[in-house]
Amino acid sequence: MSITKKIQESAVESLTHLYEQEFNEKDFQVSQTNPEFEGDYTIVLFSLIKNLKKSPDVIGKELGDYIVKNYSLLFSKYNIIKGFLNLTVTDNYWFDLLNKNYNDVCFGKHAMNGKKIMVEYSSPNTNKPLHLGHLRNNFLGWSVAEILKANGYDVVKSCIVNDRGIHICKSMIAWQMFGNMETPESTKTKGDHFVGEYYVKFNDEYKREVEELISKGVEKDKAEKEAPIMQRAQKMLLDWENNKPEVIDLWKKMNAWVYKGFDVTYKRIGSDFDKTYYESNTYLLGKQIVEEGLAKKVFIKDDDGSIWIDLTEDGLDKKIVQRKDGTSVYITQDIGLAEKKYEEYKIDKSIYVIGDEQNYHMKVLKLIAEKLDLPNAKNIFHLSYGMVELPSGKMKSREGTVVDADDMVDEMIATAKQHTEELGKVKDFEEHELQQLFETIGLGAMKFYLLRVDPKKRMIFNPEESIDFHGFTGPFVQYTYARIQSVLKKVTSNLPIAIGIPVTGNRQPATNLLSLEKELILTLEQYSQIIEQAATELNPSVIANYIFHLAKTFNSFYTEHSIANAESEDKKQVRLQIATMTANVIKSSMQLLGIPVPERM
């Protein structure tokens, strides 16, 4: 049980005894004491004034006296400042916490709760490689899944691959026109990059043909529809839907090239999935649901045969769910897939990690699912995140200006190498160790930078800033961990860390905690609550901010207080325990972000 929970329970019991009324945890607020005041945790008293008809100072004195007297193992003293009851937790409590948990690598994690959640992320198109936006999506989805696991959920990581449609046909047509039977192998090009180049070539040729038609007097709208290359792509889409063998064969071949490339990138960035859905298998899902919706009068059929839903009373507009020719639209297959997910996994919640440009689409999906009474419809959740840009501005895939994920990873590793070599502390590393270190630092810097921002916010990714060893960055945290490991290795090379200072009853330990020692232990104790908060908010930046604060506090502590040359053996053991627990929590929390920590750097 967290210290905050213990304070809440002791305050509820004390108030109930003192004033012979029923109280609960919602009747007051508990927070960490403001650094400028003495104390560790504060009970805010103002909400009690009206009910008790006493001044905050009187309530504070009565409650403070009772708590310190009756919970002496937990609290040593108190003070009152303008309506705030500041409680000081006993050193015994913190010593006991250290003794029990300093070497527990699972500290802070929650027991399994019997609930299952699916997290869908990545959702790539098979006409181009993953790009910088996909990196934020993958890092966010993967991290949210791990945070939920740490909170006791059974998590299914899923991905929907957009492997059909006009955009896929564009790459296929361009390869037929310009490819000369080239392959990724013959050109020594990664498969997803290879196919993506033909998507760009399609749009270059399309633009050329449209301009040529316009120069001949054709109106722009008509030229865009009648450009020969676009008409070929549209015919290919119809041929695909009609299962024309040569089109299906080409589609399978080019998609296989892309999947092979995706697999390399996913492995490199540490992204994985338990279940992959393919749009080519799901695009017909939902058609039966549309028929059922018509029968329930959730949907209405237009005079031309198309089927719609009217959401104007819900503050939205009319949405088509089936075209007049009987073909489905994106929302139709999304409805069908939502039902399929539940049928397969019986999930309690379905989280979609999708950019904020799809906010409206996801509102419509959830609302339709609710109106259709689909199972678990109310637990569809859109984890909307802002787009990521570079300092140079926005990116456009059809113009070939998108920054490929692979290129960004290469740049980050190269930048990590440059910065690490400038520090000059890796001269005794073997070549393979160096390469592993550069990848660990480079990828860690990118993940941390992309995850340290609240998902809802749009952001600019600055590669150079992300790898600053002294800033709010992954490398700073990684360096802190490596520093602790170095200290522990030196101090305990001949002697293992002792069990610690046993504390029982009211016996005072042989040493007292100094300010920075207590601040570190107090911060470590909060880890379980931080994990819970990050899961509640579906926000990995909560973890990133916590780790940075922990690492910064440890560095302040280590600058002020020696471990190896501590004032006494008891004090040495306390600091060894603090360092060990700090390292464990840093490693654990960085793992929730998908970031490894090097043992030395």
CATH of the domain at 490: 1.10.730.10
194 and 308 together in one domain = no
| Domain limit, last residue, from 59, 89, 119 | 89
Three-state secondary structure readout of 332-368: HHHHHHHHHHHHHHCCCEEEEEEEHHHHHHHHHHHHH
Total of domains in the chain: 4
- Are 437 and 406 a contacting pair, CB within 8 Å? no
303 and 233 together in one domain = no
Residue 185 belongs to a domain: yes
Mean pLDDT of 245-260: 98
Which domain covers residue 169, as residue numbers?
165-256
456 and 560 together in one domain = yes
- Are 285 and 337 a contacting pair, CB within 8 Å? yes
586 and 465 together in one domain = yes
Q: What is the pLDDT of residues 67-124, one digit of tens each?
A: 999 999 999 999 999 899 999 999 999 999 999 999 999 999 999 999 999 999 999 9
Residue 539 belongs to a domain: yes
- Are 478 and 441 a contacting pair, CB within 8 Å? yes
Rounded percentage of the chain residues whose pLDDT exceeds 70: 96
pLDDT score recorded for residue 506: 44
pLDDT score recorded for residue 221: 95
Report DSSP state, residue 313. G
Residue 368 belongs to a domain: no
pLDDT score recorded for residue 492: 81
pLDDT score recorded for residue 175: 98
3-class DSSP state for residue 116? strand
447 and 564 together in one domain = yes
pLDDT score recorded for residue 284: 86
450 and 573 together in one domain = yes
pLDDT score recorded for residue 390: 82
252 and 315 together in one domain = no
523 and 583 together in one domain = yes
pLDDT score recorded for residue 511: 75
Mean pLDDT of 458-478: 93
- The C-alpha atoms of residue 469 and residue 163 are separated, in whole angstroms, by 41
Residue 276 belongs to a domain: no
Residue 156 belongs to a domain: no
Instruction: Single out the residue of 545, 561, 556, 554 nearest to residue 581, CA to CA.
Output: 554
Q: What is the pLDDT of residues 262-313, one digit of tens each?
A: 999 999 999 999 999 999 999 888 888 999 999 999 999 999 999 999 999 9
- Binned at pLDDT 50, 70 and 90, residue 505 comes out as very low
| Domain limit, last residue, from 256, 275, 307 | 256
Is 60 exceeded by the pLDDT of residue 448? Answer: yes
Q: What is the pLDDT of residues 313-346, one digit of tens each?
A: 999 999 999 998 888 888 999 999 999 999 999 9
Top pLDDT among 183 and 464 is at 183
3-class DSSP state for residue 223? helix
Mean pLDDT of 428-436: 90
Is 70 exceeded by the pLDDT of residue 500? Answer: no
CATH number at residue 35: 3.30.1360.70
pLDDT score recorded for residue 510: 63
Is 80 exceeded by the pLDDT of residue 398? Answer: no
| Domain limit, last residue, from 34, 69, 89 | 89
- Binned at pLDDT 50, 70 and 90, residue 499 comes out as very low
Residue 547 belongs to a domain: yes
Q: State the angle between helix axes of 527-537 and 569-592 in degrees (0 to 180), rounded to the nearest 10.
A: 10
318 and 244 together in one domain = no
441 and 548 together in one domain = yes
Q: Which residues, including other chains, have CB under 8 Å from residue 349's CB and lie 6 or more apart?
A: 115, 117, 118, 376, 379, 381
- Binned at pLDDT 50, 70 and 90, residue 242 comes out as very high
Average pLDDT, the chain: 93
Residue 343 belongs to a domain: no
Q: Is the alpha carbon torsion for 387, 393, 399, 401 positive or negative?
A: negative
224 and 172 together in one domain = yes
3-class DSSP state for residue 502? coil
pLDDT score recorded for residue 494: 57
Is 70 exceeded by the pLDDT of residue 564? Answer: yes
- The C-alpha atoms of residue 293 and residue 335 are separated, in whole angstroms, by 11
CB neighbourhood size of 138 (10 A): 28
Residue 458 belongs to a domain: yes
435 and 549 together in one domain = yes
pLDDT score recorded for residue 199: 95
Q: What is the pLDDT of residues 507-543, one digit of tens each?
A: 455 678 999 999 999 999 999 999 999 999 999 999 9
